[in-house]
């Protein structure tokens, strides 16, 4: 089957949606599908386009023999709704020529965000008569509205109309968690098949000897390390970590570490500097080869979200933490998917996202129970291997693709002058 995936983020980006879509491409290609990728110039998470792409509109390259059409994006720091919209609109417009150059596939898979890309891809799927799968990595515009990034009633109405159009133009919607599926079922108008296919985890190699990361970052040597690693964005509620560090500033046994980039980073650093906190460090995104040591270096991994985040976002970092067998303290809404995963896996404890006192107390309690932390981490690893295996994800996509070929109107799937649903 010929499949074209349209995703603003892709390899060689090392965090966020990029590696997730890279894994999807690898899996589909391994199953014998003829895969093409249309992606933006790599820019995430540093929000900087590499020099080799600058001044260009479209670049053709290959990833593991797979054709990739790279298109121009207006890379910004995304500090405002306008800048984020400009970024999303730039890829939405620039991806169209690349899609036309790539040619008609049997199935188009669009990845949202951006919200506008599935609209363009969905319309093109109707023109070409091919199936369209919409994959949701975040619930938009819900997230932007809840985070307060968009307040204009007119703009909200416009974005809601686009959202409904996206669902009507899709033959199936892939939700990465049950919370997304619940959200979708409440928006039934024009909504087709819903498939819940979570991010999968790849079991890491066994740790070897002394942890290199702890050795390199000497400030944490011999201390209990409470670590957050991921996007420093609007939804994460990272002020809770700085507040907890403030409460524990006189306890020399504990050190906090925030690793990553994002629109909230500067504000968090300024808060820590203003309070003269010496028990918290900020590190940039680490190279992929250091990811395993980074996670293993943590005595506890912190997962935080704003209190109003319920069924619009699930932190992808959570799956990596489980795979590496690290215990978790999750300061999240108790009704969220993140809370359900932590609770069901037995990988850690839940605390109120609006209470740094509870977060700091949970850290102190975990410090006093070394064996408990190790056992929770082991529970999380076993849960991840059972629930989020790569094989399960591959089977789910294979099943969905087979159903689409069998169920979508044959007249739409007929290739020009050829037979319906013919694969490659």
State the first-to-last Cα distance of the chain, in angstroms, to the nearest integer: 5
Tell me: pLDDT of 359 over 70.
Answer: yes
Separation of alpha carbons 312 and 20, rounded Å: 18
- Cα separation of 394 and 197, whole Å? 9
Residues 10 and 67 in one domain: yes
Three-class SS of 151-213: CCHHHHHHHHHHHHHHHHCCCEEEECCHHHHHHHHCCCCCCCEEEECCCCCCCCCCCCCCCHH
| Distance, CA of 36 to chain centre | 21
CA triple 338-195-202, angle to 5 deg: 55
Does some domain include residue 175?
A: yes
| Domain identity same for 156 and 282 | no
Q: What is the C-alpha separation between 400 and 34, in angstroms, rounded?
A: 16
Question: Domain check: are 400 and 285 in the same one?
Answer: no
Residue 136 shares a structural domain with residue 74: yes
Q: Is the pLDDT of residue 420 over 70?
A: no
Clarify whether residues 23 and 102 are in a common domain: yes
Q: Is residue 365 part of a domain?
A: yes
Residues 120, 250 within the same domain: no
Total structural domains within the chain: 2
Buried b / exposed e over 75-90, threshold 16 CB at 10 Å, is bbebeebebbbebbbb
Instruction: Decide if 46 contacts 263 (C-beta within 8 A).
Output: no
Interval 256-260 mean pLDDT: 95
- Identify the residue whose tokens are 């740094």: 356
CA distances from residue 216 to 212, 269, 393 in whole angstroms, order as listed: 6, 21, 36
The answer to the question of residue 424 being in a domain is: no
- Same domain for 299 and 372? yes
Q: Are strands 328-331 and 300-304 parallel, antiparallel or unpaired?
A: parallel
Helix 239-247 to helix 356-367 angle (10° resolution) is 60
Higher pLDDT, 370 or 86: 86
Q: For residue 281, what is the domain's CATH number? A: 3.40.50.2000
Rounded to an integer, what distance in angstroms lies between the CA atom of residue 138 and that of residue 169?
A: 18
The DSSP symbol for 41 reads P
Indicate if 352 and 217 belong to the same structural domain. yes
The pLDDT-based confidence of 416 (bands split at 50, 70, 90) is very low
What is residue 189's predicted lDDT score, i.e. its pLDDT? 59
Q: Give the 3-state secondary structure of 312-379.
A: CCCCCHHHHHHHCCCCEEEECCCCCHHHHHHHHHCCEEEECCCCHHHHHHHHHHHHCCHHHHHHHHHH
pLDDT digits (tens, 9 = 90+) for 66-90: 999 999 999 887 667 778 889 999 9
**Cα–Cα distance measured from residue 137 to residue 53, given in angstroms and rounded to the nearest whole number:** 26
String of b and e for 302-339 (b: at least 16 CB within 10 Å)? bbbbbbebbbbbbbbbbbbbbbbbbbbbbbbbeebbbb
Do 374 and 399 fall into the same domain? no
**Domain assignment present for 423:** no
Statement to judge: residues 252 and 342 lie in one domain: yes
SS3 47: coil
**pLDDT reported for residue 407:** 66
pLDDT digits (tens, 9 = 90+) for 26-51: 999 999 999 999 999 999 888 889 99
Are residues 259 and 299 both part of a single domain? yes
- Name the residue among 380, 345, 414 with its Cα closest to residue 128: 414
| Furthest-apart CA atoms within the chain: distance in Å | 75
Q: Which two tokens stand for residue 177?
A: 């968690």
Residue ranges making up the domain that contains 362: 212-386
Q: Are residues 125 and 238 in the same domain?
A: no
Query: What value does the mean pLDDT take over residues 338-367?
Result: 94
User: Does 192 fall in a domain?
Assistant: yes
In a domain, 422, yes or no: no
Give me the helix-helix angle, 117-128 and 81-102, nearest 10°: 20
What pLDDT shows up at residue 214? 77
Residue 45 tokens read as 């998470």
Domain membership of residue 421 (yes or no) is: no
**How confident is the model over 159-169, as pLDDT tens digits?**
999 999 999 99
């Amino acid at each position: 089957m010929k499949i074209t995936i349209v995703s603003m983020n892709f390899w060689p980006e090392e965090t966020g949606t990029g590696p997730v879509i890279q894994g999807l491409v690898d899996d589909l290609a391994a199953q014998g599908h003829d895969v093409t990728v249309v992606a933006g110039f790599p820019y995430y998470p540093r929000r900087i386009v590499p020099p080799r792409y600058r001044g260009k509109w479209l670049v053709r390259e290959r990833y593991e023999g797979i054709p990739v059409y790279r298109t121009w994006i207006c890379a910004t720091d995304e500090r405002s709704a306008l800048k984020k919209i400009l970024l999303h609109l730039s890829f939405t417009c620039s991806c169209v020529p690349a899609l036309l150059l790539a040619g008609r596939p049997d199935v188009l898979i669009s990845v949202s965000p951006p919200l506008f890309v599935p609209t363009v891809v969905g319309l093109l799927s109707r023109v070409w008569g091919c199936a369209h799968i919409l994959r949701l990595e975040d619930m938009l515009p819900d997230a932007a509205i809840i985070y307060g990034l968009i307040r204009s009633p007119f703009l909200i109405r416009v974005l809601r109309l686009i959202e409904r159009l996206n669902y009507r133009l899709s033959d199936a919607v892939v939700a990465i968690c049950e919370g997304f599926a619940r959200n979708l079922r409440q928006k039934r108008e024009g909504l087709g098949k819903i498939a819940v296919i979570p991010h999968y985890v790849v079991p890491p190699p066994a740790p070897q000897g002394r942890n290199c990361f702890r050795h390199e970052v000497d400030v944490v040597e011999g201390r209990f390390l409470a670590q957050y690693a991921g996007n420093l964005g609007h939804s994460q509620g990272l002020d809770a970590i700085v507040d907890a560090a403030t409460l524990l500033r006189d306890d020399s046994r504990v050190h906090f570490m925030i690793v990553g980039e994002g629109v909230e980073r500067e504000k968090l650093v300024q808060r820590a500097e203003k309070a003269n906190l010496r028990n918290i460090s900020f590190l940039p995104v680490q190279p992929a080869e250091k990811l395993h040591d980074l996670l293993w270096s943590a005595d506890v991994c912190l997962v935080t979200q704003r209190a109003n985040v319920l069924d619009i976002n699930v932190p992808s970092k959570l799956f990596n933490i489980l795979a590496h067998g690290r215990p978790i303290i999750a300061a999240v809404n108790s009704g969220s998917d993140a809370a359900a995963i932590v609770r069901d896996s037995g990988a850690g404890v839940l605390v109120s996202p609006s209470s740094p006192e509870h977060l700091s107390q949970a850290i102190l309690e975990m410090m006093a129970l070394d064996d408990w932390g190790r056992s929770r981490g082991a529970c999380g690893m076993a849960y991840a291997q059972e629930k989020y295996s790569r094989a399960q994800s591959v089977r789910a996509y294979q099943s969905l693709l087979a159903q689409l070929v069998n169920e979508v109107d044959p007249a739409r799937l007929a290739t020009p002058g050829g037979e319906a649903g013919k694969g490659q």
